Amino acid sequence: MVSGVVLQFERALFHLANAGAGESVAVEQVDDVSRHREGRTIIQEQDKKTIARRNSILGDRSNDLWRTLQIWIQGVRESNQASTQYLLVTNARPKGSIVDAMRRPLTDPDRGIAILSAMRAAGRARQSKPGAMPTKIQAMIDDVLASTDSDLLDLARRVELVEQYDSSAQRPEIAARLGLHPDIECDVVLDAVMGWIIERLKTSWDRNEAGVITKEECLRYVGNTQARQIRRRWMPRPPREVPVTDRDIENARGRAFVDQVVRIGLQEDEILQAIEHWAQFNTERYRLALTGDIPAEEWDDRAERLRQRWQQIDRRTARSHKDAPLVDRGYHVYSETTYDHHEDVAGNPCRELYMTAGHYHRLADDARVRWHPNYRAD
């Protein structure tokens, strides 16, 4: 069932978050999910998810329960070594004497005996008549209980029930264990990590390789994803995410920077673009100022860098285009200044054109730069 597979991926993320240095997590290798250290399996897990949340999913004579126990005891028989811990994970709250015994505190010294006693009681509740072939579930129960008392008791003591598992509720703890910064959108990063886990496992399986992910691989991906998220938080957004309304455009029509671009003969579509760049820059500058990640003096320093660049272009143009009409000279300065340049923001490259062109329009609005050679603000 797809929901069961999704639970395995969710639990893989949980184990990767809780794994220690040098450990790895596997899916569909020795168990549904397993954790490994130095070549040894330390945790095995069986995942049982139901959409209907039936209480009988892990009942005393249910296939889900006894098949799980059979898988685990067979592993002990084959390797003569038990894993450190066995987890039985379900999103339901099952009923039955066996799961009731599993709910006992791990510190209870009689817990293992109680689990084993409940298992044996379930085995005696035969559904077939004496002498008849045992049912499929009874054959499975008999196979499990054929193990030695010491092996069964040791397994019972290592089993832990994780019921009513809710992956969403676990996300804050997972985020903390992965070291996610509290100011970023943790769900966005965790969704990306989940997608990476699925793709990473699928790629391994397509190559007929074991689906194993190391803690180091996970931390590397988390670190890179978090860095991108942090950078996106304090860097300017793409233009499509900074809308400009008709009202914004109308309110800007009478401003000094618009008067300037009109005087150098810009066409209507160019004027609209200038207004959009100016409005988008102001919106993003305000948003970034609220985050506090970019110091206020950086905006002043950036403005001065842009002003000095305009001044150099203006001086060069006055000499190289001294015989050109003033309108053409002004347009040349404007295009050289705003069309192809992308000024850094706080020392980081910024490819959003509106952040440079819009900043120039803000300077033009304050008369710190001019486009027409003879422009003077009223």
Instruction: Tell me the C-alpha distance between 223 and 229, whole Å.
Output: 10
Q: Dihedrals φ, ψ of 145, to 5°?
A: -75, -5
What was the pLDDT predicted at 3? Answer: 59
The overall average pLDDT reported for the chain is 92
Q: Which of 35-49, 115-129, 340-354 has the lowest mean pLDDT?
A: 115-129
Domain ranges of the chain: 2-232, 239-365
What was the pLDDT predicted at 288? Answer: 86
Would you say residue 60 has pLDDT above 60? yes
What was the pLDDT predicted at 376? Answer: 81
Cβ neighbors of 151 (< 8 A, separation 6 or more) are: 73, 76, 77, 82
- DSSP letter (8 states) at residue 46: E
